[in-house]
Amino acid sequence: MIRFISLFLTLLASLAFAADRSAEIREEMWNSSDKTFALTDVPPQWAGKSAVYLAKLNRFEFRKAVMASYVRRNQYNHYRIKLLDQNAITRYAEMTYDESIGNTYQVYVGFKIIKSNGKEQIIDISRAVKMQRESRGRKYGYFKLAIPGLEPGDILDYYICEEESILTTAKLYFFDPVIHCLTREYPVANYKLQFRASRKCYINLKSLNGAPALKVVSDEKDDEEFYSFEGTDLDGSDDQRWVFPYRDLPTIKFRAAYAYSGGLADYFGVLLGEPRVAKTKVLPSELAELTEKMMRSTLSIFTLPKEIKDTKVISNPFQAAEKIYYSNRHDELINYAERNEFMEYNPPRVSEIEFIKAMNTELKAKKIPHDIVIGMRRHISTIDDVIMENELDWLIRIKKGKEFLYLTAFEKHTPAGFLHPLLQGTEAYVVDGLVPPAQWAPKKVTLPTAAAQDNLIETYTTATLSADLDAVKLVVKKAISGAGKEGYQEEVLDYYDYEPEEFKRYPRDKTSLKVSKLDKNATARKNAYMSKRTEKKMESWKPWVESEFTFKVKDIELPKVENTGRFDLTTPFSFQYTCATEEIVQRAGTNHIVDVGKLLEEQTKIKPEELNRATNIYLEYPRKIVAHLTVVAPAGYTWEGTEQLLKTVVNKYGEFSAAARVEGNTLIIETTKQYSAVFVPKADWPKVVEFLNAALEYSDQKALLVKSK
């Protein structure tokens, strides 16, 4: 009985606390002194918009919880949005928010409508309905709330706040980083992005792309620091193609870490700086220190191939490094691929740090000159703006005089020499892999850039028209090199397409599905796959081929792989397939028209509304797409109109060019489409549109087939 009373009192206390806290948050959100949350009028420049945020607050809090093993992460989101049309009404008429979970995750919400006459109506959240899912005794839920009485011109003022206690045994706890792009779909008249952290927290913080400058306020009473970004008049932005938002739109990066003591932070910490001082800049030496710490805490070993092991002096470091690379790609990934698949384990993988640690060890053992490269992908920031370790990439580069061979943590098809396109052309730091970490002196370098020609997709299509011109057989061969290669390899190849070449090159025992009690199920799974392999491959292949053309195709056959391109950066991945269509030849009076332009790959269509561009243009990599099209007419026909199949549009950002000729009854067309740049200032967007339009218009080109007299 005593126990029951005690439990009851605890429950009562916790309910009372929740009610108090709910009232506190409501008071803070709706009765704050922040005047922007009392605004009612839309700034005149946004009068014709669907909705406008009059005020917006996002606050993140990070601190140690009262209970010993918990840290707290709180997030307070408060929005005051004026809904100006039916579209906005429909969107905001139904709101959702998460359900609280026990005492560790509390959600507090409030919704009120301010009518155009100023009358306020607070929505009764007890009318929200709970949607729930239950599995293995665990319940997951969220609430749906219908917002009553909304009309265009109403203001919806609402907050959704989360307070979370996170159990941790770590002495240094890293909260999830926040990368917050300030631009939203709707314009924002006033906004505040705030971070509040206990003074024992280490803060990393950066304001980018015109985001407002940081204001820091010390809260002596609560022993906390308060970091705030405040701004006004932020235009809305719809989704646009080819934009890196973190590079082009106002963005804030933030990460907090809580340390039980400064000593711990010194020992375990990376890129932490000093408590209470927002760290906005990371020094090259800190990147080196971080790399050393991460490598030191990683246990990973590669195996030297015997021929390298037995070679006392390495004369060709590139060749030796490639051998180490491919041999270990086999041992670490390919060797386990089949077993992991059918034993239903996660696919084998090697992290970047594991890779550089193991590779560095072997390269040092053979005294092969190399650097460890610390880089940052272009779509996040420049390396000068790094503030968190999760923004970084690590790789190795082998040195031979002034030449370099880049080695990236491999996936199953990654070739030696591959440098991720988002790292290309960026600045990075390198440290000498042969010297002890204590002597590392980071040096800034610019990583090389591939040309469009290096990222080449070549397609050879032979279209043979039937004698009655009703049907066309297509034989398509593709050869892909560079950045696009891996995507095609993933699409086309399954494990058994490259297993033979792997085990021919590395004739060692596979970590296989041993026939034991444990492995019988895996063997059954393998047998199931092998018995249906053709059908399974066709399940994904057929839609892929169908998506290649804008007309209906049939009789699709699986591709025949000519070269997997897996052991060399420059060797293309090539394959050939066949299919047929009845859609590209049309009768036109006594003649026939052939939609030759449609036999090229589907072209990018820039919609009229995309012509006005508000952001700069970012492409992942330069690339060249070359099509060699041969259209064979039946005997007795001649081609006309081929003079229209010539086209050239070239500018500094790209090109589309086409040439055509007739040889007997065969029409031969060669086209080149090229994206030459990875960045285009928005003012030059018309130049990109120019060559894209040329390619699109070409896809409507036709040739006339005339019966010979």
Partner 1 sequence: MIKPWFALIGIIGIASFGYGQKNVNTQLAGELKGYPENKKAKLVAKQHKSSYTFQLTENTLTVINTNTLDLIALEGNLDHREYVAYNNNVAVLDASVRYTTGKNIFSAKVCGNYEVDDIFYSDAKICSYPMNFLSEGTEITFQSKLQYNDPKYLTRIFFHDSKPTEFREVSVIVPDGVEVELVEKNFDGLTIEKSKLNQAGNTVHTYRVKRLPEKKNEENSLGSLYHFPHLVVLTKSFKTKAGVSKVLASVGDLYNWYASLTKQINNDPSALKAEVERLTKSCKTPEEKIKAIYYWIQDNIKYIAFEEGIAGFRPEAAQQVYQNRFGDCKGMANLTKEMLKLAELDARLTWIGTRQIPYTYDIPSLSVDNHMVCTVFLNNQYFVLDATEKFMPFGSSNAERIQGKQILVENGNDFILKTLPEESATSNQVTRTENLTFQEGALIGQGELSMKGEAKKSFLYANAAVKTEDLKRLFHELALPNRLNTDKIEITNKPITHRDSALLVQYAYTVNNKASKFKDDWYLNLDWIKQMFDLSLEEDRVTDYYFYRKLKSVTRKKIQVPEGYQVTHIPTNMTRSHPDFSFEVKFKMQGNELVYENIITIPQGLIKKSSFKDWNASIKELKAVYNDPIILSKKP
Considering only residues 344 to 383 of the shown chain, the ones binding partner 1 according to CB under 8 A are: 345, 348-350, 354, 358
Task: Report the nearest approach of partner 1 to the CB of residue 332 (Å).
Answer: 6
Task: Report the nearest approach of partner 1 to the CB of residue 313 (Å).
Answer: 28
* 609 forms part of the interface with partner 1 (CB under 8 A): yes
* 122 forms part of the interface with partner 1 (CB under 8 A): no
Question: Which residues ranging from 672 to 691 are in contact with partner 1 (CB under 8 A)?
Answer: 689
Q: Select 91 or 473, whichever has its Cβ closest to partner 1.
A: 91
Question: Which residues ranging from 427 to 446 are in contact with partner 1 (CB under 8 A)?
Answer: none
Task: Report the nearest approach of partner 1 to the CB of residue 87 (Å).
Answer: 5
Task: Report the nearest approach of partner 1 to the CB of residue 352 (Å).
Answer: 14
Task: Report the nearest approach of partner 1 to the CB of residue 8 (Å).
Answer: 30
Q: Select 582 or 670, whichever has its Cβ closest to partner 1.
A: 582
The site map against partner 1 for 502-521 (x = CB under 8 A) is: ---------------xx-xx
Give CA angle at 255 (250, 258), nearest 5°.
160
Long-range contacts of 34-42 (CB under 8 A, 24+ apart): 34/192, 36/80, 36/189, 36/190, 36/192, 37/78, 37/80, 37/157, 39/80, 39/189, 39/190, 40/82, 40/114, 40/118, 40/155, 42/82, 42/84, 42/189
Q: Select 9 or 518, whichever has its Cβ closest to partner 1.
A: 518
H helix intervals, 219-283: 245-248, 262-268
Strand partners, 501: none
CA atoms within 13 A on the CB side of 440: 26
* 202 forms part of the interface with partner 1 (CB under 8 A): no
Which of the ranges 21-29, 47-55, 191-199, 483-491 carries the binding residues for partner 1, by CB under 8 A? 47-55
Task: Report the nearest approach of partner 1 to the CB of residue 538 (Å).
Answer: 12
Radius of gyration from C-alpha coordinates of the chain: 31
Which of the ranges 134-142, 163-171, 312-320, 498-506 carries the binding residues for partner 1, by CB under 8 A? 134-142
Task: Report the nearest approach of partner 1 to the CB of residue 93 (Å).
Answer: 5
Q: Select 135 or 439, whichever has its Cβ closest to partner 1.
A: 135
Q: What are the structure tokens assigned to 618, written together?
A: 């970012």
Q: Select 23 or 146, whichever has its Cβ closest to partner 1.
A: 146
Task: Report the nearest approach of partner 1 to the CB of residue 446 (Å).
Answer: 32
Strand partners, 657: 648, 672
Which of the ranges 173-181, 414-422, 449-457, 589-597 carries the binding residues for partner 1, by CB under 8 A? 589-597
The DSSP secondary structure of 619-666, one letter per residue, reads: -SS-EEEEEEEEEEPPTTEEEE-GGGG-EEEEETTEEEEEEEEEETTE
Task: Report the nearest approach of partner 1 to the CB of residue 684 (Å).
Answer: 16
Q: For residue 78, is it left (φ>0), alpha (ψ between -120 and 50) or beta?
A: beta
Q: Select 367 or 532, whichever has its Cβ closest to partner 1.
A: 532
The DSSP secondary structure of 477-540, one letter per residue, reads: EEEE-GGGHHHHHHHH--HHHHHHHHHHHS-S------SSHHHHHHHHHHHHHHHTHHHHHHHH
Among 11, 15, 67, 146, binds partner 1 (CB under 8 A): 146
Q: Select 19 or 611, whichever has its Cβ closest to partner 1.
A: 611
The DSSP secondary structure of 364-381, one letter per residue, reads: HHTT--EEEEEEE-TTT-
* 422 forms part of the interface with partner 1 (CB under 8 A): no
> β-strands 456-465, 623-632: how paired?
parallel
Task: Report the nearest approach of partner 1 to the CB of residue 626 (Å).
Answer: 24
Q: Select 384 or 470, whichever has its Cβ closest to partner 1.
A: 470
Question: Which residues ranging from 73 to 102 are in contact with partner 1 (CB under 8 A)?
Answer: 84-90, 93-94
| Residue 158: closest CA among 115, 98, 111 | 111
Among 77, 194, 630, 693, binds partner 1 (CB under 8 A): 693
Strand partners, 623: 675
H helix intervals, 249-398: 262-268, 284-296, 306-309, 317-329, 335-342, 352-365
Among 41, 149, 263, 560, binds partner 1 (CB under 8 A): 149
How many residues interact with partner 1 (rule CB under 8 A)?
Answer: 73
Which of the ranges 263-271, 392-400, 494-502, 581-589 carries the binding residues for partner 1, by CB under 8 A? 581-589
Contact 669, 662 (CB under 8 A): no
Question: Which residues ranging from 519 to 578 are in contact with partner 1 (CB under 8 A)?
Answer: 520-521, 524-525, 527-529, 531-532
577 vs 492: CA distance, rounded Å: 11
* 148 forms part of the interface with partner 1 (CB under 8 A): yes
Task: Report the nearest approach of partner 1 to the CB of residue 324 (Å).
Answer: 14
For residue 247, the tally of other CB atoms under 10 A from its CB is 19
Q: Select 150 or 545, whichever has its Cβ closest to partner 1.
A: 150
Q: Select 386 or 658, whichever has its Cβ closest to partner 1.
A: 658
Q: Select 468 or 609, whichever has its Cβ closest to partner 1.
A: 609
398 vs 319: CA distance, rounded Å: 10
Which element (helix H / strand E) includes 242?
Answer: none
Among 209, 644, 651, 666, binds partner 1 (CB under 8 A): 644
* 343 forms part of the interface with partner 1 (CB under 8 A): yes
* 604 forms part of the interface with partner 1 (CB under 8 A): no
* 702 forms part of the interface with partner 1 (CB under 8 A): yes
| Residue 428: closest CA among 378, 375, 389 | 375
* 614 forms part of the interface with partner 1 (CB under 8 A): no
The site map against partner 1 for 297-336 (x = CB under 8 A) is: ---xxx-----------------------------x---x
* 654 forms part of the interface with partner 1 (CB under 8 A): no
For residue 223, the tally of other CB atoms under 10 A from its CB is 12
Burial class from Cβ neighbours inside 10 Å (0-12, 13-18, 19+) for residue 26 reads middle
389 vs 290: CA distance, rounded Å: 8
3-state helix, strand, coil in the chain (%, to 5): 30, 35, 35
* 700 forms part of the interface with partner 1 (CB under 8 A): yes
The site map against partner 1 for 2-41 (x = CB under 8 A) is: ----------------------------------------
CB within 8 Å of 235: residues ≥ 6 apart: 183, 187, 614
* 188 forms part of the interface with partner 1 (CB under 8 A): no
* 593 forms part of the interface with partner 1 (CB under 8 A): yes
Question: Which residues ranging from 231 to 270 are in contact with partner 1 (CB under 8 A)?
Answer: none
Query: Phi then psi for 387, rounded to 5 degrees?
Result: -135, -10
Residue that is written with structure tokens 């469009």 in the block = 452
Among 514, 587, 652, 661, binds partner 1 (CB under 8 A): 587
* 119 forms part of the interface with partner 1 (CB under 8 A): no
